[in-house]
Amino acid sequence: MLIKRKTADVQRGRLQTAIAGLSSGVMDRRAFLRRSGLVAGGIAAAGALQIGSVRKAEAAGLGPATGTKIIKNICTHCSVGCTVKAEVANGVWVGQEPAWESPINRGSHCAKGASVRELVHGDRRIKYPMKLVDGQWQRISWDVAINEIGDKMNEIRAKSGADSVYLLGSAKFSNEGAYLFRKFAAFWGTNNVDHQARICHSTTVAGVANTWGYGAMTNSYNDIRNSKTILFMGSNAAEAHPVSMQHILVGKEQNRANVIVFDPRLTRTAAHATDYIRIRSGTDIAVIWGMMWHIFKNGWEDKDFQAARVYGMDDVRKEVEKYDPKTVEDITGVPEAQMKRAAETFAKVKPATFIWCMGVTQHSVGTANVRAICNLLLATGNVGGMGNGANIFRGHCNVQGATDFGLDIANLPCYYGLVEGAWRHWARVWDVPYDYFVTRFDEVPAKGGRPARTRKANMETSGHTSTRWFDAANLPTEQVDQKDNLKAMFVMGHGGNTIPRMPDAVKGLEKLELLVVADPHPTNFVSLGGRKNGTYLLPIGTQFECSGSRTCSNRSVQWGEKIVEPIFEAASDYFVIYKLAQKLGFADPMHKNFEMIQGKYGPEPSAESILREINKGGWSTGYTGQSPERLKLHMEHQDKFDLVSLRGAVGSPVENDFYGLPWPCWGTPELKHPGTHILYNTSLAANNGGGTFRPRFGLTRERTLADGSKVNDTLLAENGSYSLNSEIKDGYPEFTMGVLKKLGWDADLTPKELETITWIGGNAIDAVNWANDLSGGIQRVALAHGCVPYGNGKARANAWNLPDPVPTHREPIYSPRVDLVAKWPARPDERTLRIPNLHTSVQKAAVEKGIAKSFPIILTSGRLVEYEGGGEETRSNRWLAELQQDMFVEINPADATARGIRDGAFVWVSGPENNSKARVKALVTERVGKGVAFMPFHFGGFYQGQDQRGNYPKGTDPIVLGESVNVVTTYGYDPVTAMHEGKVTLCQIAAA
């Protein structure tokens, strides 16, 4: 709402008006900035002369202004996807302008986005490859680095197997980088490949996908402008997704919408709520069931919606009966009246949307938490329409895309899973024999009473999760369900301080034979522990230093153009992955479909060609329509999209498209599917962005009645629920060649499509389906008949394949309410994802040891707006670092007074495991309730009171260092995804 002024209005009227006429011939601002770029390069070069900076200096030093180029990229921080508009002169990024035309951020940024230019100033970046030799950092060349790393990997592979090398990727990769890294893991022969989604929304993806089909935000940030009730739970969008608040606050203002915030802290987001409800950390299910108790009792539910589109709500109803207001108040601390009001508002003032983040997901019951929320949405009919839905705000700039492309222990790109069919599908796309991949995987010997696994079985077994990588290194080999323990970590763009139990991580680091950190900044992996050898640091460019697409939280895919060449000796992700593949001997088959272009240090695959390969294979998720050309067209015409509906304007080159072609964008690019702004939205036609719930779990489900007889319930939609213009006016299964034949629609296939289908299907052509038909014919025909390729099913209120099919409250592993543990215990011990998960043992031991008495304060954690993730990148940015110079713990005034703690004084926060302790500053505030403490998770570089600045290579240490909260956080893992319990543990605080 800013008024842009004409230049003429403001040119004059200065003290110096009289001499203004003399300005001709004077260097303009751009020229000046270019010159200052020279200075910056000069300083950097003085520290360590290398190609990058010299080139930068030369570029900057070129003659008079030759015009400034505007290059658009996407902010590399949270998942909102703000467009960054860079002014570039002679290869130097000289200024940032607001990108008014982006429908997502409309020129806005948060502190991080407004300071991203600093990332390529690079004062604190890793300047060249390095290795640790007897505790000293030595500069090496890229060739030496790749050679030595590759040799060591091969050595470990020969000795311990491919699974002993952990490939930890990044939510900061472009889609193409993520895909390439997953493909690399497939060629290397391991499923031990993961990224930050594990610690961010893995439980969301599991919970949501198991409910209605896809693991993603159902609507968009913009769509919240339509909401009349906005409920936040465990989300502090004001600090974690600031620009999203633009849409939310406008929605709040224009609709006079209710904003309900459930949180243990009165967050910056809660400060803008109309109803703030404080809850005890770790009681989310009881909160949701508490709301649903009122909804069911008062008949506020949407029965028609349930009947048509939901399976198993009665099972939920039965569970919810246990959660009467008194029980709920005892568990959660929320009085009946508050709960009832929230429930009534959410059910009756529609459309209502539910926004959640890590406050919900980072629990040992994370998946169940998510499932409970989905049930609330289903019960009230608040999904699949404008202004409602599960608005899951994801954390990193491309955590959605990296998840989509299978940087995950249990999936190949686009959620195909690890089954043989999935491998065969991708083998076809990659044009590499399926059998090749089988040979790359380890054979796992029988051990610990478990049978041996063949290569093929191992290939189809989920890998280790990143949350417990050190357990895979530390536990007795017997307990680790793979050939050998973890021996090497190859870490690209991932912090080392983001998961609990850092004292155990320190031990794990000592066990590793090889640690490779490939990152723009040295992460906490580098400073932590006392490694002396076998550690490599590779300088990687940020996403501003390479091109590629990224998927924001709302599934819109945006193309970012390289702004500057990677600075110093940094290289792109594509280059590093390619070079390592080359060293390991599979670069050629891996890159055979890619166009190789000349990168900074030699050939590397072009992002466009990688995206084309994705388009070729990403049918299951609708990643097939987003060709590089279409994405670039969208970036060029950002201003043509509607702010609320995200629809491209009539008559524009992007007419009818949704901005960024949010997946699923069915069929080939030529089909011009507009993408799907709102998932499962039956009020639009399937070929125009409409959808239905996805029947993924069979067509019927057997149910035993009270008299012992059995009936089969349908899992397909009923009561005339189907997407607009569907020719099938009922539920229907996913489309296969067989289904097409039954409907008589197979005649619509072109000969070429049929040829491909026949090639894929061989003898079983009927089994070829919408997700593995590389021709896209099946999808095209289904859409032509108004049908959604994946079918029209019911969402599942009861997800029978999950550990808790209907969620039930379980006390956190470290619970302050010992008295409730007996009634609401953690799950029994089990083995999940290659190692034991000792929920009950640890919880019981804590109760028996009286931990709740000696550690009486609930500790939770979260984000600060200035920093992100592990924080090395942002703590190295001088514009951001200045704003948060100390790690702190928020503590209630009552707790502070009782302990003699002053605001701003140092305190020791101690945790219940490993005698862990962290020295941080106290921030005494009523923001947290009595008995609750909060710590941000972005700090690192101090460990239990010790300054570890000296462990970073000289000149690369972040400006601000601090204790990591994860020094004191504890055990507790979700049974489905091994998400850590980062949001609730116990601690004690004492003045230091």
Helix (H, G, I), strand (E, B) or coil at 699: coil
Cβ atoms within 10 Å of 2's Cβ, excluding its own: 7
The least CB distance from residue 359 to other proteins, in Å, is 17
Q: Which is nearer to other proteins, 246 or 798 (CB)?
A: 246
Residues making up the chain, counted from first to last = 992
- Please identify, using beta-carbon distances, which residue of 191 and 554 lies nearer to other proteins: 554
> Please, which residue, 314 or 926, has the CB nearer to other proteins?
926
CB 549, min distance to other proteins, A: 24
Cβ-based nearer residue to other proteins, 107 or 421: 107
**Least distance to other proteins from the beta carbon of 394, Å?**
18
CB of 320 to other proteins, least distance (A): 23
Pick between residue 578 and residue 888 the one whose CB is nearest to other proteins.
Answer: 888
Buried b (16+ CB within 10 A) or exposed e, 839-851: bbebbbebbeeeb
Report residue 128 as tokens: 């060249």
Helix axes 366-379, 313-320, angle to 10 degrees: 110
Measured from the CB atom, the residue of 208 and 259 that comes closer to other proteins is 259
Residue 937: CB minimum distance to other proteins, A: 16
For 89, the 3-state DSSP assignment is: strand
Closest to other proteins by CB, 217 or 260: 260
- In 3D space, the residue among 887, 163, 122 whose CA is nearest the CA of residue 519 turns out to be 122
Q: Measured from the CB atom, is 182 or 340 closer to other proteins?
A: 340
Closer residue to other proteins, CB minimum distance, 268 or 672:
268
Min dist CB 287 to other proteins, Å, is 16
Is the CB of residue 282 less than 8 Å from the CB of residue 245?
no
Residue 262, CA distances (Å) to 205, 277, 326 in order? 21, 5, 18
Whether residue 488 contacts residue 520, with contact meaning beta carbons closer than 8 Å, is answered with: no
CB of 4 to other proteins, least distance (A): 7
Give the residue from 464, 456, 504 showing the smallest Cα distance to 482: 464
Run of H or E residues at 990: strand 985-991
Closest to other proteins by CB, 15 vs 446, is 15
Pick the closest to residue 166 from 581, 513, 420, 586 (CA basis). 513
Tell me how far apart the alpha carbons of residues 129 and 139 are, in angstroms, rounded to a whole number: 6
List of residues 6+ apart from 872 with CB closer than 8 A: 495, 519, 521, 522, 523, 524, 940, 958
Of 652 and 925, CB closest to other proteins: 925
Place of tokens 């070079």: 579
| Nearer to other proteins among residue 68 and residue 726 (C-beta) | 68
What's the closest the beta carbon of residue 694 comes to other proteins, in angstroms? Answer: 35
CB 158 within 8 A of CB 365: no
Closest approach, Cβ 527 to other proteins, in A, equals 22
Cβ 39 to other proteins shortest distance, Å: 11
Q: How far is the CB of 1 from other proteins (least distance, A)?
A: 5
Q: What is the Cα–Cα distance from 84 to 100, expressed in whole angstroms? A: 10
Shortest Å distance, C-beta 36 to other proteins: 7
Nearer to other proteins, 447 or 878 (CB): 878
**Tokens standing for residue 676:** 């799907």
Smallest gap from residue 63 Cβ to other proteins (A): 15
501 or 521, CB closer to other proteins? Answer: 521
Angle between helices 366-379 and 202-212 (to 10 degrees): 40
Which ranges in 62-161 belong to alpha helices (H)?
A: 142-160
773 neighbors 735 (Cβ within 8 angstroms): no
Q: Which is nearer to other proteins, 109 or 834 (CB)?
A: 109
- What residues have CB less than 8 Å from 206, skipping those under 6 apart? 215, 367, 370, 802, 976, 977
Report, in Å, the least distance between residue 870 CB and other proteins: 19
Q: Provide the 3-class DSSP secondary structure of residue 279.
A: coil
Supply the minimum distance, in Å, between the C-beta of residue 568 and other proteins: 21
Neighbours of 626 (CB within 10 A): 28
How far apart, in whole angstroms, are the C-alpha atoms of residue 171 and residue 360? 20
DSSP 578-636: HHHHHHHT-HHHHHTTSPEEEETTEEEE-HHHHHHHHHHH-GGGTBSS--HHHHHHHHH
| Least distance to other proteins, CB of residue 548, Å | 24
DSSP 3-state assignment of 50? coil
CA of residue 487 relative to chain centroid, distance:
26
The nearer residue to other proteins, 345 or 916, going by C-beta atoms, is 345
Nearer to other proteins, 33 or 852 (CB): 33
- Minimum distance between the CB of residue 860 and other proteins, rounded to whole angstroms? 15
- Tell me how far, at minimum, the Cβ of 277 lies from other proteins, in Å: 7
Residues 6+ apart with CB under 8 A from 74: 81, 82, 83, 84, 397, 543, 550, 552, 558, 560
Distances (CA, A) of 946 to 124, 509, 656, 910, 990: 21, 18, 58, 15, 18
The residue among 147 and 274 lying less far from other proteins, judged by its C-beta, is: 274
551, 396 Cβ separation under 8 angstroms: no
- Phi, psi at 533, each rounded to 5°: -145, 175
Return the SS3 of 530: coil
Distance CA 759, CA 763 (A): 9
